[in-house]
Structure 1
Amino acid sequence: MKHPIRVATGVVCTVAAVAGIVTAANAQRRGGYNFASGKDIYEHVCQGCHMADAKGAQGAGAYPGLASNRKLQTPLYPVLIVLRGQKAMPSFSALSDEQVVEVVNYIRTNFGNSYPNAVTLDQVKGLRARAVQQQAQRPG
């Protein structure tokens, strides 16, 4: 018999993930998100999968932790992931360049992360064009 806490955790993670995907789909249909600060964007768009403490979750899928994540040390890595998506994470290209800057800089300076060299608007603008082009060239 499965442990009840593990089952409950799996159910919670599944519901949170579905809510996050539905939020993303609705935002793309409406033409964007109405959140300005990195904290607001994280709380309304990202934490459904990555959790409030940014430690990620295991359940119906694997949702990587952003807390104390050394991959975030490279400033443009999270920008690319937000714009293109990765594995089960959809693209959040409906976020404006300004919103991408805000949320990426937020996660890079919170949750046990303290990476210097903030991402700039020019960097996001330059990477968006390449990320969208690369995404269009993916097979499948």
Structure 2
Amino acid sequence: MNSLKIAVAAALALLASPALAQSDASMLFANPSKLTQTDGKDIYNNICAGCHMPEGQGAVGAGMYPALANNENLESAGYPIYLIIHGQKGMPALGGVLDDAQIAAVVSYIRTNFGNSYAEEVTVQEVTDSR
């Protein structure tokens, strides 16, 4: 699993193009069908932490990866749901890689960790409605 983290981090660091199509994000993963994690923490650690860092502190390097820790933009679940599905700038669209339940799980995780206390659980229906 460690090699997956390294591969994802390297691939995401190379994708600074805002024109990355949603279907192109699946190229980041050797076999997207093997992305079977359903726990938000596991999804975060295996896909998101490579750029946003293990404690959500964000980073600046090959690109600017915003901090998720203590992030007021996460108050509304719609914001991170939209970004994960559709991408933005250096953030690739992961809507074609993650299913609605996985997106709901990881958004719930980041909204209740890293100093964030937005306790309302994100539902699969909210993600489905955002597509």
TM over 0.5: yes
RMSD: 2.4
Name the % identity: 43
Contact 1:24 1:45 in 2 (8 A): no
In 2 relative to 1, CA 108–62 (structure 1 residues): closer, same or farther, beyond 3 Å? same
Deviations 1:32-72 (A, max 9, x none): 62211000000000000000010000111100000000000
The structure 2 residue matched to 1:112, chosen from 105, 112, 115, is 115
- 2:72 match: 70
The structure carrying a bigger helix percent of its residues is: 1
Structure 2 unmatched ranges of 5 or more: 1-6, 15-24
The structure 1 residue matched to 2:50, chosen from 48, 51, 57, is 48
Question: Deviation at 1:18?
Answer: 1.6
CA distance in 2, matches of 1:44, 1:107: 14
Number of aligned residue pairs: give it: 114
- 2:101 match: 98
Bigger Rg, which one: 1
Question: Deviation at 1:29?
Answer: 5.3
CA distance in 1, matches of 2:90, 2:8: 14
Query: Structure 1 stretch 111-120 or stretch 20-29: which is displaced more?
Result: 20-29
RCO greater where, 1 or 2, for CA within 8 Å and sep 6 or more? 2
Question: Deviation at 1:99?
Answer: 0.2
Q: TM-score normalised to the size of structure 1?
A: 0.73
